[in-house]
């Protein structure tokens, strides 16, 4: 990240985790550590997609993009922990989708006994406002591989190139939308059910409540009003805090 990257959003300077400090640039060594944790939790050997499956998805979506910069839409944890080297960041809006906590996680922000919830993009009337990060063409191969490993580790999303509106003009960006057919997808949770889950879930890298708080805080910095997130955050604050907290960094396995 250079100062020029924040020319459109100077308020974000100093508020994003640098790529090299992300913790979720999933190298082979990091993946091996996640696999060990999954075994300890009793998850099956195929708890995540194979490297070949992840790479096949990446190549399919990015076919024809050789030699071009890549924009990536951030609506969840990527908004404060993008985990990528980027040249530019803008405010961005995606039409026809809304932000919802509808993806169960049993590793990271929850456990098999008490799964947490991370963000998805649900196809629904409305808009989702977030950020768009531009990766330089020379870095797209490396950065997109690491991003796919992070977001598609369990195949919980449907990646696609979709049009976004930004104050500087329209762009096409990589967007990870909800895979509603995935067994971890939780369709139709009420606000009360969602709040109760987020208030109680905690995993190896932190509480589910902290994930929501970081999202709400970043939206406030950007002046983005998401009524659902505000209402949910208020409902979670009314819940009793978890009796035990695990220490961890401020990262999440899923939820762009």
Residue among 11, 53, 113, 151 flagged as catalytic: 151
Backbone dihedral angles phi then psi of residue 110, each to the nearest 5 degrees: -165, -175
Neighbour count for residue 117 (Cβ, 10 Å): 26
Pairing of strands 88-105, 171-178: unpaired
Identify whether 151 is a catalytic site residue.
Answer: yes
Distance CA 123, CA 94 (A): 10
How far apart CA 129 and CA 189 sit, in angstroms, is 22
CA dihedral 119, 228, 177, 140 (to 10 degrees): -70
How does strand 116-135 pair with strand 171-178?
A: unpaired
Distance from C-alpha of 226 to C-alpha of 123, rounded to nearest angstrom: 16
Residues labelled as active-site residues: 151
């Amino acid at each position: 990240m250079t100062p020029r990257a924040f020319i459109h959003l100077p308020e974000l300077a100093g508020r994003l985790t640098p790529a090299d400090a992300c913790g979720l640039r999933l190298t082979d060594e990091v993946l091996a550590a996640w696999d060990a944790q999954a075994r300890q939790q009793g998850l099956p050997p195929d708890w995540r997609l194979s490297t070949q499956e992840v790479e096949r998805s990446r190549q399919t979506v990015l076919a024809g993009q050789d030699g071009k910069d890549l924009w990536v839409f951030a609506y969840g944890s990527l908004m404060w922990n993008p985990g990528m080297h980027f040249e530019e960041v803008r405010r961005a809006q995606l039409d026809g989708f809304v932000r919802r906590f509808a993806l169960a996680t049993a590793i990271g922000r929850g456990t098999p006994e008490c799964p947490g919830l991370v963000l998805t993009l649900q196809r629904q009337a409305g808009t989702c406002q977030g950020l768009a990060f531009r990766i330089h063409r020379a870095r797209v191969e490396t950065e997109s591989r690491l991003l796919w490993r992070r977001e598609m580790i369990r195949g919980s999303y449907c990646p696609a190139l979709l049009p976004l509106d930004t104050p500087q003009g329209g762009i096409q960006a990589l967007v990870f939308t909800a895979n509603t057919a995935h067994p971890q997808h939780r369709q139709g949770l009420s606000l009360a059910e969602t709040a109760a889950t987020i208030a109680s879930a905690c995993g190896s890298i932190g509480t589910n409540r902290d994930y929501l708080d970081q999202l709400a805080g970043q939206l406030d910095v950007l002046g983005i009003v998401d009524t659902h997130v505000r209402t949910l955050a208020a409902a979670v604050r009314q819940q009793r805090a978890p009796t035990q907290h695990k220490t961890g960094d401020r990262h999440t396995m899923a939820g762009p």
